Amino acid sequence: MTAVSASGIAELPPPPVRRWTRERIAGHVLTGLWALAGAGLVLYLVFAWNPELFARWAPAYLRGLGVTLLLVAISVVAGAILSIPVCYGRMSRNPVLSALAFCYVYFFRGTPLLAQTFLIYYGLGEFRPQLQEIGLWWFFREAFYCAVFAFTLNTAAYQAEILRGAIQSVPRGQWEGAASLGLHRLQTLGKIILPQALIVALRPYGNEIILMIKGSAIVAIITVPDLMGQTRLAYSRSFDFQTYLWAALIYLAVVETLRHATDWIERRITRHLVR
Amino acid sequence: MQSAWTLLSWGPEGWLDDIASGVLVTVSLAALTLPLGLLMGFAVALAKKSDEPSLRLAGNVYTTIFRGLPELLTLFLVYFGVQIGLQTLVRLFVPDATVEVNSFVSGMVALGVVFSSYASEVFLSAFRAIPRGQYEGGYSVGLSKAQTMRLVVMPQLIRIALPGLANLWLILLKDTALISVIGLSDILRQASIASRVTKHPFLFFGVATLAFLVLAIVSSVAIGRIERSVGRGEARR
């Protein structure tokens, strides 16, 4: 029975008392530490503010960011194109094709991107005469092109797996239904399967782009002047630690923007699934 | 011109022993980072699944930062940042001291931090996969909170989290390649030295890449075994 007060209105139970449990204290202390670290970072950047340094390196950082984004954009698009035949090979019933595609994917996913980049940039230098003969040396001479090449091969392997997983996540019945309506296999793929598969693939694709942006920092080691390259240059000239902190803030901003953009797109294209 | 086989032989003529020592460095770095990363990741996951909003916030800030930064940048931040920080601290007491931070330890910390931020997500989703009834059942038979965690939740948690953690281990193994940049003689650095001396970069970087591939294959086999032995006790559903 509900307790009824003198006025005849049921009283709400009092709100639960929030005690200072150990968890709550730990939470406040840790959040406080993060806030302190954040404030410390801002204070450090304000006190260490050096107009000369900023004027000298800000344009370089912007150019570096441009190089990073360009590198990732080219590689991701080229990788997406290359991933289609690889994915086809992975899903093919032909044992030779499928073994080839499996080895390709296994090699590029099983070894560090840095090692692959070194193998292409420094390693192919060993074949300079042969490359000059077939007229490809101009391509493999440039660190930027080599980085694009390595990143494209790498991301194609990852994207092929994403695509395969997404296509296989669509139930068989969808293929059969389309076939019973008399649709051609390619029509089925384009009109029935891919629209459903790409919803599944969106988040992994977003993650892959973020991983590429983070991974692209390594091209600084093979002398590509990307954001990380400019940062290393700035640090080696000025020995000012804030150069690294600026780069960290820029990378964080880019990655967070992309993450939220992926979330937004996902919410938008799954509107019809929300009940 | 030496043949590839002489270059790859063991001993002073060849470089195989140097590459093997690089493999040892890579493996020991990854193996020492793993427990550190797992512990930190578990702690962060506990914070993120807590009912206390401030604790969740602290955990989420951690993951956002260290998942968003490039691994290479995290490595530099730790390597140079800790060095500068410690130096400033020590110079308060000893005016002209120089502090050198061990690159192995910096690598361990940086990779551990990155690993733990990903691992915390894996643990968190594993926690979410365990029904509330498991905790309630534990409490109702008189187990304390810690006992429920250890005896009821953990065995299931490990089984659910294992594939995700195995993936992270493979990523960690690959990320150790970055450590060559701050001067630790891992596989990749030994290969660079060898290729600079012998002018056979394709050969040595190829060998280094294959060494990483072999490590990945060995790990996959070992992970498969562990998964089978952990899954043995699982009841049929």
Please give the tally of structural domains in chain B: 1
The superfamily (CATH) of domain A70-222 is MetI-like (1.10.3720.10)
Q: Do residues B190 and B144 lie in contact, with contact meaning Cβ atoms separated by under 8 Å? A: no
pLDDT of residue B169: 95
pLDDT of residue B139: 93
pLDDT of residue B171: 93
Is the CB of A241 less than 8 angstroms away from the CB of B213? no
The residue ranges of every structural domain in chain A are 70-222, 225-262
Size of interface A-B (CB pairs under 8 A): 145
A217 touches chain B (CB under 8 A): yes
Q: Is residue B19 part of a domain?
A: yes
pLDDT of residue A1: 46
A204 vs B16: which has the higher pLDDT: A204
Residue partners of A274: CB distance under 8 A and separation at least 6: none
Q: Is residue B237 part of a domain?
A: no
Each residue's pLDDT tens digit, A104-138: 999 999 999 999 999 999 998 888 888 888 888 88
**Domain span at residue B72?**
4-231
Each residue's pLDDT tens digit, B17-54: 888 899 999 999 999 999 999 999 999 999 999 888 89
Residue partners of A27: CB distance under 8 A and separation at least 6: B47, B50, B52, B53, B54, B55, B56, B57, B58
When scoring A18, A111, A208, A245 by the number of chain B Cβ atoms within 10 A, the one with the most, hence best to mutate, is A111
Is the CB of B72 less than 8 angstroms away from the CB of A213? no
Check pLDDT > 60 for residue B102: yes
pLDDT of residue A125: 85
Q: Is residue B30 part of a domain?
A: yes
What value of ipTM does the predicted structure carry? 0.87
CATH number of B103's domain:
1.10.3720.10
pLDDT of residue A5: 54
Q: Is residue B50 part of a domain?
A: yes
A16 touches chain B (CB under 8 A): no
pLDDT of residue B100: 78
Minimal-distance CA residue of chain B relative to A219:
B72
Check pLDDT > 70 for residue B60: yes
pLDDT of residue A60: 92
A24 touches chain B (CB under 8 A): yes
B64 touches chain A (CB under 8 A): yes
DSSP string, chain B: ---HHHHTSSSSSSSHHHHHHHHHHHHHHHHHHHHHHHHHHHHHHHHHTSS-HHHHHHHHHHHHHHHHS-HHHHHHHHHHHHHHHHHHHHHTTSTT------HHHHHHHHHHHHHHHHHHHHHHHHHHHS-HHHHHHHHHTT--HHHIIIIIIHHHHHHHHHHHHHHHHHHHHHHGGGGGGGT---HHHHHHHHHHHHS-HHHHHHHHHHHHHHHHHHHHHHHHHHHHHHHTTPPP-
Check pLDDT > 70 for residue B2: no
Q: Which residues of chain A have pLDDT under 50?
A: 1
Closest residue by Cα to residue A54 from A187, A198, A245, A257: A245
> In chain B, pLDDT over 70 holds for what percent of residues?
96
